[in-house]
Amino acid sequence: MHEHLLELIELVRPYVDQYGYIILFFGVMLENASLPVPGETILIIASFYTHSHQGTGHLNLSYVIGLATIGCILGDNISFYLGRRLGRRFITQYGKYFLITPHRLNQVEHFFQRHGDKTIFLQRWITGVRVIGALVAGTTQMPWSRFLLFNCLGAVTWVTTISLLAYLFAVNLPILLKILSRSSWTFLGLLLAIGVIVYLKRRYAVDRPTPPV
């Protein structure tokens, strides 16, 4: 699989400048709109090209992060709208045409019951849940304002993390893909740990008494 990915990278290199941003935006958007499109892989490849300045094509990391974030948010809101308008019965009946099985739907609904609104933030880090999380949020009639809040937070965090990792791991992209496919939770845990450390350091700095002059 990794060999095929590297071959694909070399194959599309001449077209990156002209079509790279378009493929990135629609690839990420369609995956988040609950279609079976490899949005995460497209994001990783696009971020790889921000590091690769050899050959004929390369992209800008800031543009990649910005476009992918907008694509995530837009795709999720499309999925949320469809879930709310069509309902669970329609998804159960016709979801198989989009690789949404009843078993997967039940799993995501159970995840929603356990974690509530936080699911919209967490979904991006879990393969399978990311594709239909917003759809289920719509079927469960989650308030749109709450959905949008966690959706934007999750999109910014996920896209930025994946893009920076792909940029840093550009010299060994297959290793990154292997790690992401098996342990997305590891990166979420690492991100949360960094956030806690920063928070505690700031809290300590505020609470620490000022020495007398």
Residue with tokens 């917003």: 134
Rounded to whole angstroms, the Cα distance separating 198 from 192 reads 10
Cα–Cα distance list, 183 to 27, 69, 75, 188 (Å): 22, 22, 24, 9
From first to last of its 213 residues, the chain has per-residue pLDDT tens of 455 555 666 666 666 767 889 988 998 999 888 888 878 888 888 888 887 544 445 788 899 999 999 999 999 999 999 888 888 887 887 777 777 777 778 877 877 777 777 778 887 777 667 778 888 888 888 889 989 999 999 999 999 988 888 887 776 666 666 655 554 545 555 555 555 555 555 665 555 555 554
pLDDT score of 120: 84
Dihedral sign from CA coordinates of 94, 99, 104, 109: negative
pLDDT score of 72: 94
For the chain, give every domain's residue range: 2-186
Q: What are the start-end ranges of the H helices in the chain?
A: 2-12, 16-32, 39-51, 61-94, 102-115, 118-122, 129-139, 144-168, 173-182, 184-207
pLDDT score of 66: 95
Angle between helices 184-207 and 173-182 (to 10 degrees): 90
The whole model's pTM is what? 0.73
Angle formed at CA 62 by CA 57 and CA 63, multiple of 5 degrees: 60
